[in-house]
Amino acid sequence: MNGGEPEDLLSKEITESISKAMGEWDWDVDILELGEMEIAGCMGCFGCWMKTPGICVIDDISRELARKMISSDLLVYLTPIIFGGYSYHLKKAVDRMISVVLPFFEKVDGEIHHAKRYDRYPSFMAIGIADSENESEERTFRELIARNAINMHAPRFSSAVILRTDSLGSRQENLVKTLRDMGAVK
Amino acid sequence: MTIRKALLLVGSPRGNKSNSFSLGSFLMKKLNENGVETTTMMVKDALKSKERIEDMLKEIDKTDLIVLAFPLYVDSLPAMDIKLLQIISEHRSGSTDKIGFVPMVNCGFPEAIHNKTAISICRNFASRANLEWRGGLSLGGGMAVASRPLEEVGGVARNMINSLEMAARSLAEGEPIPKESEERMALLIAPKWLFIRLGNKMWKKQAKENGVENELNARPYIDD
């Protein structure tokens, strides 16, 4: 899921690099360009839990995103880092996918979270693009990925931060290392 | 130094039918009692057109304090609030006018700690937007408020009310929120076991009212 602006060439380049690296290891990669999709914002109505369980009440492409997410083995978010969080495009999609968990509360390591709706969930990897080094935003981003991983029941997770000023070689190295950490490529 | 004006931005997609509005408007009321003139705007409306965005930015330019009240959406702010923060940050680029900023986040989980990443995002935003950090308020178990005015919520809102009264006194003086106010807001509203029991009962009751109690665990996206 690419949450970059449609005109952001670096996010396109990274998307292609990931797709190519994974393709070499026989992954079937689906690329979703969120910035080019019409995705409505979540209304906070809980309809996906209480009215049409498991399906958002707004009929747009986000239903398909949730289906693809739950049918995949690895979910990859790519986003410019905005104040340590996701871009508007990505966050719209993320907010609309809470239908994949149940409303019910349960304890996970002493903390309360929403229970699983499905038996299995994808592993989760996020790549943040930063304009320049910003320690605080990078820390927030990595925390966010770790927290999201718990809430989406991801069996494994990993995050990487790529600077726009990084060389092509260093960008590729970072990506392959993160994919290796996830066991996605060897 | 005392402040003159405060602006409440309600960052819930549910607008004035939200816990964010209940909490935010109570704080505004208390600021008002402390001599601060207040304005309230719904983010969902403020972002509807260029003209409305301009109106909001004009309000921001006039204010001494911005309070952003929002619900936690997947460990962060609702998408529309990310857009809001980007607009404000761009508008404030290079500005040195002294404006304070306070995020106030509520989540459905009982532990306020879930709000930590959202508060961090807000803090990073404040730094980028040249806004003065005046502390962050973080509430767990927000659904207990049920979008009612805090005065009507009863005993469960006692700590919230105390926290906001304390916060208002300091904020009106141009000071950050005291630690005690932040801590009080973050207290558990019920023991976790009770929260799980009552919460799950509430979901089942709502589903029953909608006639879907037997479909709650549906798995529409896989072939079972």
- With tokens 């109570």, the residue in question is B26
Question: Quick check: A67 pLDDT over 60?
Answer: yes
Question: Quick check: B2 pLDDT over 90?
Answer: yes
Write out pLDDT tens, residues A7-33.
Answer: 999 999 999 999 999 999 999 999 999
pLDDT at residue B222, as a whole number? 86
Is A4 within the bounds of a domain?
A: no
Is B214 within 8 Å of chain A by CB?
Answer: no
Is A15 within the bounds of a domain?
A: yes
Residue A83 is part of which domain span? 9-38+46-181
Is A1 within the bounds of a domain?
A: no
> Which residues 127-186 of A have a C-beta within 8 angstroms of B?
134, 136-137, 139-140, 143-144, 147-148, 151
Report phi then psi at B161, rounded to 5.
-65, -45
Is A118 within 8 Å of chain B by CB?
Answer: yes
Is A130 within the bounds of a domain?
A: yes
B124 CA: distance to closest CA in chain A (Å): 5
Report the domain count for chain A.
1
Q: State percent of chain A over pLDDT 70.
A: 100
Whether residue A91 and residue B79 make contact (CB cut-off 8 A), yes or no, is yes
Alpha-carbon distance of B105 to B72, in angstroms, equals: 6
Question: Quick check: A185 pLDDT over 80?
Answer: yes
Whether residue A82 and residue B85 make contact (CB cut-off 8 A), yes or no, is yes
Whether residue B124 and residue A137 make contact (CB cut-off 8 A), yes or no, is yes
| pLDDT tier at B1, thresholds 50, 70, 90 | confident
Question: Quick check: B224 pLDDT over 60?
Answer: no
CATH of domain B5-190: 3.40.50.360
Q: For chain B, which residues make up each domain, given as ranges?
A: 5-190, 191-224
Write out pLDDT tens, residues B15-44.
Answer: 999 999 999 999 999 999 999 999 999 999
Is A94 within 8 Å of chain B by CB?
Answer: yes
Is A2 within the bounds of a domain?
A: no
Write out pLDDT tens, residues B140-177.
Answer: 999 999 999 999 999 999 999 999 999 999 999 999 99
Nearest to A40 by CA among A1, A80, A83, A97: A97
Is B17 within 8 Å of chain A by CB?
Answer: no
Whether residue A143 and residue B117 make contact (CB cut-off 8 A), yes or no, is yes
Tell me the average pLDDT across A108-124.
96
Residues of A in contact with B47 (CB under 8 A): none
pLDDT at residue B181, as a whole number? 98
Residues of B in contact with A103 (CB under 8 A): 203, 216
CA atoms within 13 A on the CB side of B68: 33
Alpha-carbon distance of A49 to A54, in angstroms, equals: 6
B135's tokens: 């502390």
**Chain B residue whose CA is closest to A64:** B221
B97's tokens: 């006018």
Shortest CB distance from A140 goes to which of B74, B117, B222?
B117
Is A30 within the bounds of a domain?
A: yes
pLDDT at residue B91, as a whole number? 98
CATH number of the domain bearing residue A103: 3.40.50.360
Q: How large is the angle between the packed helices B116-128 and A135-151, nearest 10 degrees? A: 150
Tell me the average pLDDT across A55-84.
97
CB A149 within 8 A of CB A157: yes
